[in-house]
Structures are given as C-alpha cells and as structure tokens.
Amino acid sequence: MERILSSELSAHIGEHVLIAGWLHHQRPLSKLTFVLVRDRAGITQIVASGEAAAQFAALLPETVVSVEGRVVASAQAPAGVELVEPTLTVISVPVGAPTIALAAPVLQESLPTILDHAATGLRHPRAQATFAISAASVAGFRAALDAAGFTEIMSPKLVGGATESGASVFKVDYFGAEAYLAQSPQFYKQTMVGVFERVYETAPVFRAEPHDTVRHLAEYVSLDAEMGFITDYHEVMAMAREAVAGMLAGVGARAPEAVKLLGLTLPTVPAVIPEIDFVVAQGMIEAATGEKVVGEPDLAPAHERWLGEWAQANYGSDFLFVTGYPMSKRPFYTAPQAGRSAYSASFDLLFRGLELITGGQRLHRYEDYLAALSARGMTSVGLEGYLEAFAAGMPPHGGFAIGLERWTARLTGAANIRETTLFPRDRHRLTP
C-alpha cells in the first residue's frame, strides 16, 4: 500500500490507508490509547486498543513507524480525522528516550540545551513550522524578484583582496595564503549589475562580530538584490517592498499550516510603505521622549521601536522606511542624496520596530569611488577587481539586503534569532 501523509487523511474517510512517521506521543486511557504519529505534513491521531495499544506502549518516543488503519471523521481529533483499528510496523528504533521532550506543546528545555540537541529539538512541530516559514519566505523572495526580471547569482564566499569594512572578518588559511569569508555579496552583486542589470542572491554571509545578543549571528543567510538603470533610491525601495510582499505571499501559499500552528497573523504590506526622513524622525523622537537624539549619527534600538509604534499608530503599518541616514554611518559605496550631500540616498526598512532591510543607491562613477575611498582614508589596493566594474561603465544602481533569520524571528515572534536558525553560529557556538 502506498503511504499517504497526515494532511491527506481527510480525503480518505472510510478507507484503509498507510501512514508513516515518528511516534510523537501516546496517551493511554483505561480502554483506549491515543497515539500521535508525526510526519512532515503534521500529526495523525491513532486510536488503539487491546493488543495494538500494548504494542504501541512498548515503544520509545521517536520510534519510526508505519501504521495501517481505517480513517474516520472525529470531532475530537485535532485534524478532524483519526485512524482506527491500527496495524503497527516498526521501521527504525531510537537508542533511548529523546534528549528533548518533543511531546510538550512548547519546548520546556533551555535554549542552549535545545541548540545542543538540534537533531532532536528541530523535530518539534513549532520548530518544523518555523523553518517551513523560513523556507517559504526565501521561495517568495525569489519569486518576486524573478517576476521583476532579476537573475540569480552565486558569488564566492572565499575572498581575497580588501574587505568591505576592514574589520570583523573570519580569516581562512587558503593553501598557505590568507583569505577571508565574505561579509556580504556587495562587491559581486554590484559587479553583476554590469552583466544582468538586476540580480539577487540567497546565500550565507559571515560576520566575526564579538556581539553576543539575541539578534546577531556569526553566520546568517542574506537575501540580497541589486538593480541597475534606476533614477533614484525610491525605485530600490519600491523593489524592496515587492520583495517583502513576495516573502509574505510565499509564506501564505507554501506554509499555511505552519502559520496556523504558530497562531500567526501575517502582516499586510501597504502598497506604498510609509517613509520618514532620518532627521525628521530624530526630531519627533526627541520631542516625544525628551531624549537628546538630534545630531546622533544613527538610531538606537529603542528609537527604532518608538518609530515602529509610531508607524503602527499613524499608518496602521508594520513597516516603515527611514531614509537619509548620515553619510558618515554608511559604507564608502553609498551615494549621497542630490543636493544634500551629508545625507545618504539610502534607507532602512523597519519591520515592527526592528531594522530588517538596509539598502540604497550606490555610487556608479569610477572617479566617485576613488574620491570616496580617499575621503575615508582607504585605498583602492585590493579592490581592483571590484572597481573595474565602474571603470568599465556602470549605470546608476542600488540594492538592498534582508537578513533571513531576523525576518523569520520578527514574523514568528521568536525572542532570540537562534530560534530561527537551523544550526546557529555565534561566538560561543560552532556545533552541532
């Protein structure tokens, strides 16, 4: 008999079917045992009695089983259907009780314990749902950019030459020479604008930052886009809006059960996301809170939260663009605003009061790069391969980057970014 998934049971009421999965939980009552078997699509409730109940009772949680039985409608069953008259086959047995108690509605172990035992902890339905949402988000990102004529690129992660920032890089022994791990695909995605005009990449990036916070990782997945022939950075913002809307559409289409299981309400992306100028925002925050913020070069996390609440209160929006950050806080390739050269033609997108996207227009003239590097006391040594793109003629262009794990955390309400990373890497964690 061909195996079916838990999600397919309701189409087979009255029939005999075969399901397979992991023994998730069992609850023996006086005459009946309710058995839950977990597969990739969800959970099947099985009602066993007599000898069958005894067979289940002898099994450890996480035993891999297949069960043949008859499907019946049941108002009491979580999915509205259950399997009765089960015949059990054991496929594979665990060596002991699981290191993490997976039957709990929410895992009770500490986060470090859960992460140490990821091979088990990730099997919990809430973790499964979280990473289904993460995967659906990436698929939605790609679909939105594909639809807009972007081409996917795969840029190298092992890089030589000069770094973007000079600091916070992981060094690699490269056949006896020194390489480092790419902090972002920035140089490559800009270079590829010269080839495909519009490119994206969904790949890991590496930051050797010593931060040990709930929102920093040493390795994360960056959803990057870059586009040429723009007239100004608002075109980049409009594309970033499409990307986010695509990610939410991807989640809605590909992971509706995960959204339901986690009890999420997906946000709506306004057709035009509200925008506020950095300096104006500082003035508002100072006026409202009394804190001295005007003149500061960046927004503190508390100020981003304040702006998130302001956007919700004034526009009913979970999203807010902050534009025109001071040039001094942006990297050397950033373009200044026209006629306001101390401020950048760039933006952050706040999602529920947390910075989710950074983007903007880039310089595109070779001589502007030389001047920008020189003004920051940097040289073009080690950047020759990158600068050749501009020497060879580049259109006005810009782009943005989204941190996948941060997105998933904000969307699912996870308190710590490590909960939305399959196998997180931080200063203190390199395994499993």
Residue 90 or 375: the one with the smaller Cβ distance to its own copies is 90
> What is the spatial distance between Cα 103 and Cα 95, in angstroms, rounded to a whole number?
18
Burial of residue 215 (CB within 10 Å: 0-12, 13-18, 19+) is: middle
* Binding status of residue 72 toward its own copies by CB under 8 A: no
Amino acid residing at 166: G
Burial of residue 130 (CB within 10 Å: 0-12, 13-18, 19+) is: buried
* Binding status of residue 139 toward its own copies by CB under 8 A: yes
Query: What stretches of 15-98 adopt beta strand conformation (E)?
Result: 16-28, 32-39, 42-49, 64-73, 81-92
* Binding status of residue 159 toward its own copies by CB under 8 A: yes
Minimum distance from CB of 74 to its own copies (Å)? 25
* Binding status of residue 391 toward its own copies by CB under 8 A: yes
Query: Which pairing describes strands 151-152 and 198-206: parallel, antiparallel, or unpaired?
Result: parallel
* Binding status of residue 189 toward its own copies by CB under 8 A: no
Residue 131 or 232: the one with the smaller Cβ distance to its own copies is 131
* Binding status of residue 212 toward its own copies by CB under 8 A: no
Residue the block writes with tokens 């009061």: 353
215: left (phi over 0), alpha (psi -120 to 50) or beta: alpha
Helix H segments across 255-356?
256-261, 278-289, 301-315
Q: Choose the binding region for its own copies from 25-33, 213-221, 235-243, 264-272 (rule: CB under 8 A).
A: 213-221
Torsion from C-alpha of 236, 242, 245, 249, nearest 10 degrees: -150
* Binding status of residue 404 toward its own copies by CB under 8 A: yes
Q: Which of 27, 87, 147, 171 binds its own copies (CB under 8 A)?
A: 171
Q: Choose the binding region for its own copies from 147-155, 296-304, 336-344, 351-359 (rule: CB under 8 A).
A: 147-155
Q: Which of 6, 62, 303, 409 binds its own copies (CB under 8 A)?
A: 62
* Binding status of residue 401 toward its own copies by CB under 8 A: no
* Binding status of residue 430 toward its own copies by CB under 8 A: yes
Residue 161 or 316: the one with the smaller Cβ distance to its own copies is 161
* Binding status of residue 138 toward its own copies by CB under 8 A: yes
* Binding status of residue 361 toward its own copies by CB under 8 A: no
Concatenated DSSP letters for 376-430? TT--STT-HHHHHHHHT---SEEEEEEEHHHHHHHHHT-SSGGGGSSS--BTTB-
Q: Which of 28, 160, 326, 331 binds its own copies (CB under 8 A)?
A: 160
* Binding status of residue 142 toward its own copies by CB under 8 A: yes
Q: Choose the binding region for its own copies from 265-273, 280-288, 336-344, 392-400 (rule: CB under 8 A).
A: 392-400
Q: Which of 6, 33, 55, 63 binds its own copies (CB under 8 A)?
A: 63
* Binding status of residue 55 toward its own copies by CB under 8 A: no
Residue 157 or 305: the one with the smaller Cβ distance to its own copies is 157
Q: Which of 206, 278, 310, 325 binds its own copies (CB under 8 A)?
A: 206
Q: Choose the binding region for its own copies from 141-149, 289-297, 335-343, 344-352 (rule: CB under 8 A).
A: 141-149
Concatenated DSSP letters for 80-135? SEEEEEEEEEEEE--SSS-SS-TTSSS--S-HHHHHHTHHHHTTSHHHHHHHHHHH
> What is the spatial distance between Cα 331 and Cα 62, in angstroms, rounded to a whole number?
50
Minimum distance from CB of 177 to its own copies (Å)? 7
Interface of this chain with its own copies, residues 257 to 286, rule: CB under 8 A: none
Residue 219 or 348: the one with the smaller Cβ distance to its own copies is 219
Minimum distance from CB of 34 to its own copies (Å)? 20
Binding pattern for the stretch 107-136 against its own copies, x by CB under 8 A and - elsewhere: ---------xxxxx-xx---xx--xx-xx-
Residue 267 or 385: the one with the smaller Cβ distance to its own copies is 385
Question: What φ, ψ does residue 380 adopt, rounded to 5°?
Answer: -90, 0
Closest CA to 379 of 371, 388, 367: 371
How many positions of this chain bind its own copies (CB under 8 A)?
98
- H or E segment to which residue 143 belongs: helix 125-147
Q: What angle do CA 406, 155, 228 make, to 5 degrees?
A: 85
* Residues 6 or more apart in contact with residue 183 via CB below 8 angstroms: 163, 164, 165, 168, 169, 205, 206, 207
Minimum distance from CB of 69 to its own copies (Å)? 17
Q: Which of 27, 54, 152, 280 binds its own copies (CB under 8 A)?
A: 152
Q: Interhelix angle for 125-147 vs 404-412, to 10°?
A: 120
CA distances (Å), 390 to each of 101, 232, 233, 395, in order?
Answer: 56, 18, 19, 9
Minimum distance from CB of 37 to its own copies (Å)? 12
* Binding status of residue 147 toward its own copies by CB under 8 A: no
Residue 153 or 243: the one with the smaller Cβ distance to its own copies is 153
